[in-house]
Chains A and B, each alone.
Chain A
Amino acid sequence: MILLDRVTKKYGKKGLALDRVSLHIAPKEFVLIVGTSGAGKSTLLKLLTREEKPSTGKIVVGGVDYDRLKDKEVPLLRRKIGTIFQDFKLLPNRTVFENIAFALEIVGMTNKEINYTVPRVIDLVGLNGKEKNFPRELSGGEQQRVAIARAVVRQPKILIADEPTGNLDPKHAWDVVSVLEKINKHGTTVLMTTHNQEIVNKLNRRVITIDHGRVAADSSGGAR
């Protein structure tokens, strides 16, 4: 599903963010990427969503070879990958419902289809009753759940979550992780970066440790 072959990312002459990283992630896996700040976790995810291009190396996601990807095809790629951002990246002038619906609007879904799909996803992330609220009226945990709902509403095969629990207290953090687990159970490959050791221990999934831009450890957790 996701393949990285000796991927290096340099910023300028000295800033080596990733150093010959090779990874293979199978479909339906739930993978945690851990490491200290600046280790290269976020860079890795940005390469997968094509926010950045690798300096060298090969990336293939869901059969798409990024070397052959044209700029105009990037939006199509991003529609296939659900992305959750640490800072939520919600549209401030849109309600919860509209934020989630936006992901469907851009692919040309009709209002009828949207009105059918969005409430189900709102239910999945447990935000019933908050449909008409604006992001500023929600807690951090709720905002993150809106972001998750938006990421999964198109039922992507791959979900990429960059520190989705980074801004949350332990209770909310755990709520978010539970939602991600639920989505993974439905067959979505989940790739999540985190700092939270407790989550890593409790989840008991494959953990890839990045240190100084390299894969320092890749340990499968419990049975999967």
Chain B
Amino acid sequence: MKGSSFKRKLVNARRVFVSGAHSFLRNTWLSAAATIVMTITLACILVTLFASYTLNNTVKSFTEKIDVSIYFKDEATKDQIDNVSATLRNDSNLEVKEITYISKEDARESFEQQNKDDIKLLQAIAQSGGDLPASIRVKTVDPSKLQEVVKVTRQDKFKEVVDKDSYADDAKRTAADRLGNIAKFLRNSGLVASIIFGAISVLVILNTIRMTIFNRKDEIEIMQLIGASKWYIRGPFLVEAAVYGAIAGILALIFFYVLVLGQAPKLGNYVQEISPTVTQFNKWVWAAVPATILIGMLIGVFSSYLAIRKHLKIKAIK
């Protein structure tokens, strides 16, 4: 008996799917309208995601380059310098990521390397016999902590050793701060835009399906009177909406991967971080494809469920 009941359920499920697919094909205009709106929504979500990732990567790579150099006095010994480094490293509040020691010789070599074409300058330096100072270059996990770093090195106890630091004239840091804020703003506005488009999409699909239901409300009433269960009546509408969602998902993915990601590297000259982001998105394509299609289907099914709910109430009024 149980087996036969299961078989009947399977037969019903198949009928619901076939019927839903048929009505998708039958209501061409309504289907097209719903699919287009949903495609725009999904494409908007994907593009927002992409833009936000690119910006995040840009901010990240920018902030990674931010550091502060602490220059030491001529007479500072290596031990004293190590002592400063250790103090910074041991201060857990600073979250120091990296400290690079640059000796006088290293500094000179690097300077000569950088200015190897400017012979006059090199000669002038050599004649003056002036050494470049030894320094340490400090990077922190959070660049805003660099301010704390220089607070430490400017303390009186290091006065004998530390000469100066590069904190005050660091334009990179200000730029990064500003970029970070822009990224945050864009990410938030992208999120808001996605939510708004999502809501519009639900509303449009809700109304599209309402129109379909309105056209077929007599049919729904007859089905109810004959004893069709709610799921039997609702099922084809949900399947139809899931089809809108799946097709919209595929279209949005095509638009995104072919047009946006395909063309994005051309912007590489302006935004360097675009190429790594494109690579990242290409690497995750196996997850992006099912996720986008699934989101489309869920939006469709949810709207359809809302639209038909009202029509499926058992009419008996006391």
Contact = CB atoms under 8 A, between A and B. Distances in A.
Interface footprint category on B: 20 to 34
A78 interface: yes
B219 to A, nearest CB: 6
Contact of B225 (A49, A71, A93): A49
Interface stretch (A83-91, A126-134, A138-146): A83-91
B317 A105 contact: no
A76 interface: yes
A198 interface: no
Interface in B217-243: 218-219, 221-230, 232
Contacts of A54: 318
Contacts of A64: none
A149 to B, nearest CB: 12
Contacts of B8: 107-109
B227 A79 contact: yes
B316 A75 contact: no
A52 interface: yes
B77 interface: no
B11 A109 contact: yes
Contact of A75 (B219, B228, B315, B317): B228
A169 interface: no
A218 B158 CA distance: 114
Contacts of B218: 89
A55 B316 CA distance: 11
Nearest to A47: B316
B15 A105 contact: yes
Contacts of B119: none
Interface string B298-318: 000000000000000011111
Q: Is the interface of B mostly helix, strand, loop or mixed?
A: helix
A50 interface: yes
B12 interface: yes
Given A52-B317, A53-B318, A109-B11, A89 B225 contact: yes
* Most A Cβ at <10 Å: residue of B9, B221, B314: B314
A105 B223 CA distance: 11
A73 to B, nearest CB: 10
B232 A106 contact: yes
Given A75-B228, A75-B230, A106 B316 contact: no
B11 A75 contact: no
B225 A78 contact: yes
Contact of B316 (A52, A90, A93, A150): A52
Contacts, number: 69
Contacts of B224: 75, 78
Contacts of A76: 227
Nearest to A156: B227
Interface string A63-106: 00000000110111111000101000111110000000011011
Contacts of B230: 72, 75
A51 B227 contact: no
Given A107-B8, A110-B11, A51 B316 contact: yes
B193 to A, nearest CB: 41
A91 B316 CA distance: 22
B316 A103 contact: no
A89 B227 CA distance: 13
A75 B317 CA distance: 16
B9 A75 contact: no
Nearest to B12: A108
B317 A83 contact: no
A209 to B, nearest CB: 26
A53 B224 CA distance: 16
Nearest to B318: A53
B314 A74 contact: yes
A103 B226 contact: yes
A91 B219 contact: yes
A180 B316 CA distance: 27
Contacts of B232: 106
* Most B Cβ at <10 Å: residue of A90, A91, A107, A108: A108
B318 A55 contact: yes
Given A76-B227, A105-B12, 16 more contacts: A53-B316, A53-B318, A54-B318, A71-B314, A74-B316, A75-B227, A78-B224, A78-B226, A79-B226, A91-B219, A93-B219, A103-B227, A105-B15, A106-B226, A106-B227, A110-B11
7 contacts: A52-B317, A74-B316, A77-B227, A78-B224, A79-B226, A102-B226, A103-B226
Interface of B: 7-9, 11-12, 15, 218-219, 221-230, 232, 314-318
Interface of A: 49-55, 71-72, 74-79, 83, 85, 89-93, 102-103, 105-110, 150
In the A-B complex, the 10 residue pairs with the smallest Cβ-Cβ separation, listed nearest first, are A108-B8, A78-B227, A79-B227, A106-B228, A53-B318, A53-B316, A71-B314, A108-B12, A75-B229, A89-B222
